[in-house]
Structure 1
Amino acid sequence: MNTLIISSFSCTFEEFEKEITENFFGCLVKDYVSDYEFVKVNDHKAHTLIHITDMNKFGASLESDEAKEFDKRNNCKDIVYTLELIE
């Protein structure tokens, strides 16, 4: 499933990018995310396009203690959209 996550955060973009690419995609969801693109919008906002192979596991990872602690520490808010190809 193709998904778009719009994230806003109080940390720097560099801190957010490191956390997302190294810890989240590098460890936490690597078994059920087959591809992603991470795009800086501004210093406190990013868009992430993701291809998820198991939405239930991905949803559970967003609710993990590690993810919740990062969100709380960095005032991170995510808006998640599922995307469909229009032919």
Structure 2
Amino acid sequence: MPVNEWERLGRQAKVIKQRYPKGTQVCLGHMEGENDMPSGLKGTVSFVDDIGQIFVSWENGRSLPLNTEVDSFQVVSRPKKERDGFSR
């Protein structure tokens, strides 16, 4: 992968990490290449990696990442902020 692509992914990952912090609840629309991940499946964001994949613990027991460039999903709820500004 060219250096420019790594830089682009790194910048994109920073934005995605802010937008989808740990504990964010999501609902799957479509996951590319995963026929056994049905639309409507809910899960909780575990973490976002350094290239912007959103790793989710799904209610069916699987732990697969979302790729924001090819998968569709929506946020159901965001983690509540603590008094000190950190999320759980």
TM over 0.5: no
Greater fraction of residues in helix: 1
Larger radius of gyration: 2
Question: Which structure has more RCO (C-alpha within 8 Å, separation ≥ 6)?
Answer: 1
Greater fraction of residues in strand: 1
